[in-house]
Every structure is written in structure tokens, then in C-alpha cells.
């Protein structure tokens, strides 16, 4: 019985992988383990189109020890703003260029590029000013006191404006300000620029105000989103931008997929012609390998880019390498007079060291690429590493188990090595 | 078959001849770095000149250059990339200047459509250059260390460290071939290397060492099996025993790469080409550089003793 345990486990893994690989698989949601996966292949920017942005924060006014927190603060604010935009699968993460802290933003499938960039980059620091000795001075009421902001249409002028509502503390401050400045001007300043300076007509105690300015509906909407999501802790500057058009994506995917399938078929043909029965088993193991890798892409999940696809296809070429090393060694041992069974065991045992050492070398370079790389480069390195790891499993465990099954089942005489 | 002996110097001469043009090109022309490394902007536009289809052929780089002249764009280069598409490259400039660039062209050609826009700040480019050097350096160092560790049990007086060093010297040869080819290609076609190029280099590093390790592994095994045998004879025997599989393993990888190169997506072709060159020279250098180097080195040690 025992010798069937591993084949059954392999079969189980293959079926599980196949189940995950199905095109319309339902999402995975294991509440107890806090695992939630939509089990879709996530397409990278180069396949789907979109924008890749890198911002650099101006942390000069923030103490060294608080900079990490400020950077996280920027990420949180940008995330909120993007969520309000309704972009699917956005990426907002911290980055580093030299000693400079950066924020990387990826927005797949976005069309209104300019507006999005404007909104993300807006510091949105709102301050209320009053006049003291004929000079504008801060009142202490800022965007931090906001509860929410919405776009409204002015009843009389028909112009868009932003209606704001203060939180409790803000409402109290605002009441005091309006009391102090009755029939006087109060200024609303956004990012160091006064955008309106209305004259206070009555004391406002319910904590509501309206910002009018010369904005169109889009600008008003963006301002409302920026204000609601809070201001950025420090100003940020766009230092890298890549607009990737989606028009090339589908065609490239189709071509590369075709290339991949052709490559796999050629490799399979080579293996079968060159190694006969073990070759057929290796091709079978390769099929399971592909199922597992694809399932892992969906589970982890890995964002697939064009380079990532190349990494996957390359890893197939590398996956058979291990099998070639083993089979060649088997042939050698067989020629030296060992039985088929013994030759198989020796082949695996003796080829293992070179397989281990060569794949660890590849993994070392992959890890360096993952550490070094940004978006696209990292995608390639991640898919290649997954490929290498699974290929080790496929070459060592799956192929060996299949070969052993053959030997044990008295089909030995069919094995040609 | 005898691969070593007096033939060793010929393998080194052949390798030298292969990398020489590339090294000369690197010295005189350098590598053609793209905006990923230098910073700058790329704006690719589809332009429909007034007058419709018939006027396609009128789209000229000189004409576009003249139109953009008043903007005084730094480092301006213009390349026609298709029937109606043009690629405009500049040194790093402000977003407002890019907008002006588009407006100016729009005023002249009416219909323009943005196909691609990339802008990389100079700091970002410098950072990638640094990281690339670090990555290649670290990869070489770790591979030397790992091989030295993995081969630590080889019989005395042979040094496992020399296995690592020989392997990495062969890798450096492979990288030089790839960089050299791209230096020549860049000079004649204007192709610029990007972040993917570094990825390809590192992948070549990881992959080329495969074949080297297959031979070295057999040397390790044979040294144990035949204690006291001449190192060169053992090495030669090991190459003979593993030649078939070295070629087979590279063949399958080259097969998949060729399929990708010939029918895969356009944008990854240079990347695949770099891998193809690297994997091919990697196979050659594992057999004809790494092992002869190892023999030279280990023998010297023995003579000195």
C-alpha cells in the first residue's frame, strides 16, 4: 500500500491545481485563516495598459525618525484617493531610491491619466485664515478638522462647489471664527494658495461651509476626494511616469502564448524522441508542473507581465534540464550493467547534487533581482523563481514516482532507457 | 576525446576573439543607455498629417525637429517607429514642457494620439545604474561563495574556492559577450538598453553556471573515485562524460527561447535576444573556459607544492 501514497498525493495536487486553473473558478474565501483570493490571473500594466508612477516625498521638514511614518501616511492617503476613483487592482507601495523615500503607484486600465495624477499629487492642505492687523493669519482650523466633502451645484450660479462638513472640534472652531469675523473676510487657502475669501454674513454653528472657486466639475470632484481622504503629510513630486497603452497588450499576449506553446511542444518532442519511455513520463510531469505553476500564480497571487510570461516559459526549458541530467545518468548506469530499477535509483541519486547546485545558483540571482527590481523586473524574477522551485519538485518527485510505478508494476520490460 | 592539454590555449584564444570586438565597441562607443538609466522622456505619438493617408510618407524627422525647435528641448532625438508613429526622446524635462511639445505638434498636424509616454527622473536612472552594478557584483560573489561551499568536500590538495572562481570567470566571459553584442547593436541600430537588459544579464549569470556546475560536479565525483589521478585527465574525462547532457540541457532552453524570439511579442525581443546569446556562450564557456581555467589553476598549485 505504502508505495501508492506518494502517487496519490501527486494526483491530488494535480487535481487541486487543475481545479484552481479552471477559467471560471469561484473565489477562495477561508475566513478562519483570513485567506481571500479571487483566483484570477492578474495582468500587469504592460498587458492591460495603465500608468506607473513614482513619487518622491519632500521630507526635509520632518525629523529623521518620523519619516517612515510620514511615508506610510502618504501611502494611506493615496490609497484612499485611488479607492474613490474606483480603479481595479491598484498598487500603492513604499519604495526607496538611494536614500530617498519614494511612493510607487500603479493604476491598471485607467484612461483619465492627467486627472488621476493631479488628484494623487495634490497635497490638499486646507487652512482657514482671518485678518489680524491687515495680515492673513492662521486660525487653527484646517483640513484635519473635516468630516467630509462633497460636490454640489450652486443654486444661483450653477457653478460646481465643494460643500464641507466639520467634525465636532472643527464646528466649534468655525463658530468662533465666524463670530469674531462677522462682516469681515475669511480666506480659504488650499496648498498655500487662497482660493476664496468670502465675507462672513452670519454666525455658522452647524459646522457646514462651502468652498467656491473657479473649478469645473472634475476639479471640484477631485478636490472633494482629496479633502475627504485627508491631506498628504508632506508635498510629493512625480519623478517617474510611464503611460503604457493597452493596445499592444492583447496581441503580445497572444503571440507570446503561441510561442510558449510551440516551445513546450518542441521540448516535449525532443524529450520523447531522445529518452523514449522516461521522456514520455517527463512530459507528463511537465504537464503537472505547468498546472501547479499556474495555480500558484493565481493563489499567491502573482501579477503576470510579458516578461513574467517569458520567465515562465524559460522555466519550462529549465524544468526539463533536471530530467535530462537524471535520464543521462540513468543511461550511463544502465550501460555500466545495472538493472533498470537500480539504474533509475542511481540516476536520481547521483544527478541530484548537480541539479541542486545549479538551481540554487539560479535562485541566488533571482533573489537579487527581486531585491533590486521594480515592478516589471521583479515580476520576471518572481515567476522564474516559482518556476525553478516547482521544477525541482516536478523533476525529482513526480518523474521519480512515475518511473518507480512502472518498475514496480512489472512493466519494466517496456522501459527503454 | 581530448579537450584539454595543448588545446587549452586555443579555447582561450577563440574566447578572446569572440569578446574582443565587443570590448573594443564598449571602449569606443560604450553602451547605448536608455532613459531607464539616464533619465529623460519618451513620447510616442501617432500622427495623421493633414491630407489623409496619401501624406503618410511626408512624416519626416527633420520636419518634426524644425517644428519643435522653438521649444529648445534638451537632448532631442526623433525616430520614426512605424507608418504614422514617431518616437520623441529628450533629456529630463518638466511635465509642462512635454505638454507644450504635444500642443506644438497638434497645432501642426491636427490629429495626434499619444501611444506611449515615459518620463524618468535623473535620480531614478542613477539609482538603477548603481543597483545594476551591485546586482551583478553580488550575484558573482554569492555564486563563488556558494560553489566554494558546495564543493568543500573535494579531496585535498584541490581548492573548492578555485572551482567557484573559475565558474565566475566563465560567467564574466558570458556577460562580456552579451554586453559587447548590445554595445555593437546599440551603436549601429540606436537600440537603447533598459532595465530588462539587467534582468537578462542576471538570468544569464544564473543559467550559465548550470552547465559549469554539471561539469564541475562530475570532476568532484571523479576526483573521489580516482584518488591520485592526474587532475587534467580527470577533468578531461569529466567533460567527455557530461558533454552530451550539457548540450541537451542548453538545447531545450535555446529551443524555448528561439520560439519566443521568432514569434513572441515584439517588446520582449531584445530581452530574449540577450538571453539567447548568453545561454549559448554560457554552454561554450562552461566547457571550454571554466574547466581549462580550473585545470590551469589547480595544476599550478600542485607544481608549487
All three cell numbers of B35? 532613459
Q: Which residues in B lie closer than 8 A to residue A259 (C-beta atoms)? A: 259-260, 262-264
How far off is chain B from A378, nearest CA to CA, in Å?
Answer: 9
Average pLDDT over residues A330-342: 87
Average pLDDT over residues A105-125: 84
pLDDT on residue A202: 84
How far is it, in rounded angstroms, from Cα A159 to Cα B68?
38
How far off is chain A from B176, nearest CA to CA, in Å?
Answer: 17
Query: Does the distance separating the beta carbons of B252 and A368 come in below 8 Å?
Result: no
All three cell numbers of A125? 492642505
Find the range with the poorest average confidence among A9-13, A74-78, A137-141, B264-268. B264-268
Average pLDDT over residues B59-84: 83
Residue A160 has pLDDT above 80, yes or no: yes
B4 pLDDT tier (thresholds 50, 70, 90)? confident
pLDDT on residue A269: 93
By CB atoms closer than 10 A (0-12, 13-18, 19+), residue B77 is: middle
pLDDT (tens digit per residue) in A384-406: 899 989 988 888 888 888 888 87
Residue A412 has pLDDT above 60, yes or no: no
Give the dihedral sign, CA B285/B286/B292/B297: positive
Measured from the Cβ of residue A21, the count of other Cβ atoms closer than 10 Å reads 18
Which distant-in-sequence residues (6+ apart) come within 8 Å of B107 by Cβ? none
- % of chain B exceeding 70 in pLDDT: 94
Query: Does the distance separating the beta carbons of B257 and A365 come in below 8 Å?
Result: no
Residue B51 has pLDDT above 70, yes or no: no
Q: Does A118 touch chain B (CB under 8 A)?
A: no
Give yes or no for a contact between A142 and A209, defined as CB atoms under 8 angstroms apart. Answer: no
pLDDT on residue B303: 55
Measured in degrees and rounded to the nearest 5, phi and psi for residue B40 equal 140, -175
How far is it, in rounded angstroms, from Cα B248 to Cα A317?
11
Q: Does A350 touch chain B (CB under 8 A)?
A: yes
Strands B111-120 and B85-90: unpaired
pLDDT (tens digit per residue) in A1-17: 667 788 889 999 999 99
- ipTM topping 0.90: no
**Cβ-nearest to B259 among A240, A262, A358:** A262
Find the range with the poorest average confidence among A2-11, A26-35, A353-362, B26-35. A26-35
**Cβ-nearest to A357 among B213, B267, B271:** B213
Give yes or no for a contact between A344 and A403, defined as CB atoms under 8 angstroms apart. Answer: yes
Give the SS3 label for residue A119: helix
Give the SS3 label for residue A96: strand
Residue B267 has pLDDT above 80, yes or no: no
pLDDT on residue A12: 92
Rg of chain A (C-alpha set): 31
* CATH no. of B40-120: 3.30.70.3400
Residue A178 has pLDDT above 50, yes or no: yes
How far is it, in rounded angstroms, from Cα A280 to Cα A265?
12
Residue A411 has pLDDT above 80, yes or no: no
pLDDT (tens digit per residue) in B128-137: 888 888 888 9
How far is it, in rounded angstroms, from Cα B279 to Cα B198?
15
The overall average pLDDT reported for chain B is 86
Instruction: Give the domains, in start order, of chain A with CATH numbers.
Output: 2-38+246-414 (1.20.1640.10), 50-121+237-244 (3.30.70.3400), 126-228 (3.30.1360.200)
Find the range with the poorest average confidence among A33-42, A105-114, A164-173. A33-42
Residues of chain B with CATH 1.20.1640.10: 5-35+123-304
Give yes or no for a contact between B146 and B164, defined as CB atoms under 8 angstroms apart. Answer: yes
Please state the length of chain B.
305
Average pLDDT over residues B39-61: 71
Q: What DSSP string runs through B38-88?
A: H-EEEEEEEEE-TT-GGGGGG--HHHHHHHHGGG--TT-EEEE-SSSEEEE
Residue B211 has pLDDT above 80, yes or no: yes
Measured in degrees and rounded to the nearest 5, phi and psi for residue A232 equal -70, 140
Residues of chain B with CATH 3.30.70.3400: 40-120
A417 secondary structure, DSSP code:
-
Note the pTM of the prediction, 2 decimals.
0.81
Residue B58 has pLDDT above 80, yes or no: no
CATH superfamily, domain B5-35+123-304, is: Multidrug efflux transporter AcrB transmembrane domain (1.20.1640.10)
Helix, strand, coil % in chain A, rounded to nearest 5: 55, 20, 20
Which distant-in-sequence residues (6+ apart) come within 8 Å of B305 by Cβ? B157
Query: Does the distance separating the beta carbons of A259 and B142 come in below 8 Å?
Result: no
How far off is chain B from A381, nearest CA to CA, in Å?
Answer: 8
Query: Does the distance separating the beta carbons of B127 and A242 come in below 8 Å?
Result: no
How far is it, in rounded angstroms, from Cα A178 to Cα A209?
11
Query: Does the distance separating the beta carbons of A364 and B202 come in below 8 Å?
Result: no
- % of chain A exceeding 70 in pLDDT: 95
Residue in A115, A48, A44, A128 with CA at minimum distance from that of residue A81: A115
pLDDT on residue B54: 47
Average pLDDT over residues A24-49: 77
Q: Does A111 touch chain B (CB under 8 A)?
A: no
The overall average pLDDT reported for chain A is 84
Q: Does A320 touch chain B (CB under 8 A)?
A: yes
A21 pLDDT tier (thresholds 50, 70, 90)? confident
pLDDT on residue A190: 82
pLDDT on residue A374: 66
All three cell numbers of B99? 505638454
pLDDT (tens digit per residue) in A215-266: 788 888 888 888 887 788 888 888 899 888 766 667 777 888 888 889 889 9
pLDDT (tens digit per residue) in B82-130: 777 888 999 988 888 888 888 888 888 878 888 888 899 888 888 888 8
Q: Largest Cα–Cα distance of chain B, in whole Å?
A: 84
Q: In what order do the strands lie in the sheet with A208-211?
A: A146-153, A160-166, A208-211
Mutation site, B259, B269, B279, B282, interface A, largest A CB count within 10 A: B259
* Residue A303, H or E segment: strand A303-304
pLDDT (tens digit per residue) in A255-310: 888 888 898 899 999 999 988 888 898 898 888 998 999 899 888 888 888 778 88
Can you list the pairs that B161-168 forms with residues at least 24 positions away whose Cβ atoms lie under 8 Å? B162/B294, B162/B297, B162/B298, B162/B301, B163/B216, B163/B219, B163/B220, B163/B294, B165/B297, B166/B212, B166/B290, B166/B291, B166/B293, B166/B294, B166/B297, B167/B143, B167/B209, B167/B212, B167/B213, B167/B216, B167/B290, B168/B140, B168/B143, B168/B144
Region class of A241: left (phi > 0), else alpha (psi between -120 and 50), else beta: beta
Amino acid at each position: 500500500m505504502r508505495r501508492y501514497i506518494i502517487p496519490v498525493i501527486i494526483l491530488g495536487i494535480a487535481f487541486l491545481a487543475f481545479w484552481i486553473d479552471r477559467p471560471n473558478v469561484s473565489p477562495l474565501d477561508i475566513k478562519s485563516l483570513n485567506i481571500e483570493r479571487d483566483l484570477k490571473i492578474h495582468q500587469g500594466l504592460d498587458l492591460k495598459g495603465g500608468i506607473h508612477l513614482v513619487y518622491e516625498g519632500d521630507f526635509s521638514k520632518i525629523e529623521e525618525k518620523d519619516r517612515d511614518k510620514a511615508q506610510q501616511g502618504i501611502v494611506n492617503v493615496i490609497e484612499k484617493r485611488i479607492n474613490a476613483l474606483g480603479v481595479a487592482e491598484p498598487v500603492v507601495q513604499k519604495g526607496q531610491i538611494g536614500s530617498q523615500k519614494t511612493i510607487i503607484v500603479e493604476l491598471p486600465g485607467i484612461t483619465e491619466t492627467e486627472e488621476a495624477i493631479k488628484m494623487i499629487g495634490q497635497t490638499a492642505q486646507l487652512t482657514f485664515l482671518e485678518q489680524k492687523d491687515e495680515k492673513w493669519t492662521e486660525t487653527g482650523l484646517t483640513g484635519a478638522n473635516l468630516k467630509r466633502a462633497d460636490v454640489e451645484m450652486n443654486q444661483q450660479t450653477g457653478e460646481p462647489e465643494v460643500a464641507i462638513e466639520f467634525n465636532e472640534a472643527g464646528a466649534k472652531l468655525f463658530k468662533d471664527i465666524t463670530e469674531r469675523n462677522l462682516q469681515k473676510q475669511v480666506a480659504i487657502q488650499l496648498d498655500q494658495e487662497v482660493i476664496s475669501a468670502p465675507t462672513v454674513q452670519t454666525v455658522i454653528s452647524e459646522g457646514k461651509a462651502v468652498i467656491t472657486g473657479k473649478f469645473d466639475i472634475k476639479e471640484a470632484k477631485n478636490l472633494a476626494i482629496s479633502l475627504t481622504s485627508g491631506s498628504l503629510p508632506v508635498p510629493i513630486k512625480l519623478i517617474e511616469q510611464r503611460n503604457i497603452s493597452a493596445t499592444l497588450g492583447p496581441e503580445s499576449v497572444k503571440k507570446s502564448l503561441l510561442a510558449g506553446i510551440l516551445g513546450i511542444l518542441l521540448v516535449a518532442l525532443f524529450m520523447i524522441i531522445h529518452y523514449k519511455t522516461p521522456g514520455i513520463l517527463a512530459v507528463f510531469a511537465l504537464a503537472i508542473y505547468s498546472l501547479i505553476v499556474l495555480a500558484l500564480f493565481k493563489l499567491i497571487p502573482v501579477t503576470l507581465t510579458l516578461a513574467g510570461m517569458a520567465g515562465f516559459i524559460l522555466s519550462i526549458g529549465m524544468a526539463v534540464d533536471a530530467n535530462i541530467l537524471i535520464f543521462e545518468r540513468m543511461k550511463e548506469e544502465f550501460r555500466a550493467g545495472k538493472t533498470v530499477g537500480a539504474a533509475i535509483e542511481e540516476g536520481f541519486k547521483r544527478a541530484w547534487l548537480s541539479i541542486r547546485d545549479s538551481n540554487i545558483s539560479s535562485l541566488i540571482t533571482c533573489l537579487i533581482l527581486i531585491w533590486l527590481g521594480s515592478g516589471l523586473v521583479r515580476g520576471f524574477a518572481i515567476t522564474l523563481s516559482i518556476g525553478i522551485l516547482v521544477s525541482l519538485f516536478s523533476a525529482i518527485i513526480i518523474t521519480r514516482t512515475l518511473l518507480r510505478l512502472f518498475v514496480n508494476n512489472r512493466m519494466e520490460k517496456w522501459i527503454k532507457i | 576525446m581530448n579537450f584539454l592539454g595543448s588545446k587549452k590555449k586555443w579555447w582561450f584564444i577563440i574566447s578572446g576573439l569572440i569578446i574582443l570586438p565587443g570590448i573594443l565597441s564598449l571602449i569606443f562607443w560604450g553602451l547605448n543607455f536608455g532613459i531607464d538609466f539616464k533619465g529623460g522622456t519618451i513620447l510616442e505619438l501617432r500622427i495623421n498629417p493633414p491630407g489623409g493617408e496619401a501624406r503618410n510618407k511626408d512624416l519626416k524627422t527633420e520636419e518634426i525637429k524644425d517644428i519643435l525647435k522653438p521649444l529648445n528641448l534638451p537632448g532631442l532625438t526623433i525616430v520614426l517607429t512605424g507608418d504614422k508613429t514617431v518616437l520623441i526622446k529628450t533629456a529630463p524635462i518638466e511635465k509642462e514642457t512635454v505638454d507644450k511639445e504635444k500642443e506644438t505638434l497638434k497645432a501642426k498636424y491636427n490629429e495626434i494620439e499619444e501611444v506611449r509616454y515615459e518620463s524618468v527622473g535623473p535620480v531614478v536612472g542613477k539609482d538603477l545604474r548603481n543597483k545594476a552594478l551591485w546586482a551583478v557584483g553580488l550575484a558573482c560573489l554569492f555564486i563563488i561563495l556558494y560553489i566554494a561551499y558546495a564543493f568543500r568536500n573535494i579531496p585535498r590538495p584541490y581548492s573548492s574556492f578555485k572551482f567557484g572562481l573559475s565558474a565566475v570567470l566563465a560567467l564574466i566571459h558570458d556577460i562580456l559577450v552579451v554586453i559587447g553584442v548590445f554595445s555593437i547593436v546599440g551603436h549601429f541600430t540606436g537600440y537603447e538598453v533598459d532595465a530588462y537588459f539587467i534582468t537578462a544579464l542576471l538570468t544569464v549569470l544564473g543559467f550559465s553556471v548550470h552547465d559549469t556546475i554539471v561539469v564541475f560536479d562530475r570532476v568532484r565525483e571523479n576526483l573521489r573515485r580516482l584518488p591520485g589521478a592526474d587532475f587534467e585527465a580527470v577533468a578531461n574525462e569529466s567533460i567527455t562524460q557530461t558533454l552530451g547532457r550539457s548540450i541537451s540541457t542548453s538545447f531545450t532552453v535555446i529551443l524555448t527561447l528561439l520560439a519566443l524570439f521568432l514569434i513572441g511579442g515584439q517588446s520582449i525581443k531584445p530581452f530574449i535576444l540577450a538571453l539567447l546569446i548568453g545561454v549559448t556562450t554560457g554552454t561554450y564557456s562552461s566547457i571550454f573556459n571554466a574547466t581549462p581555467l580550473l585545470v590551469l589553476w589547480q595544476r599550478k598549485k600542485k607544481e608549487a607544492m
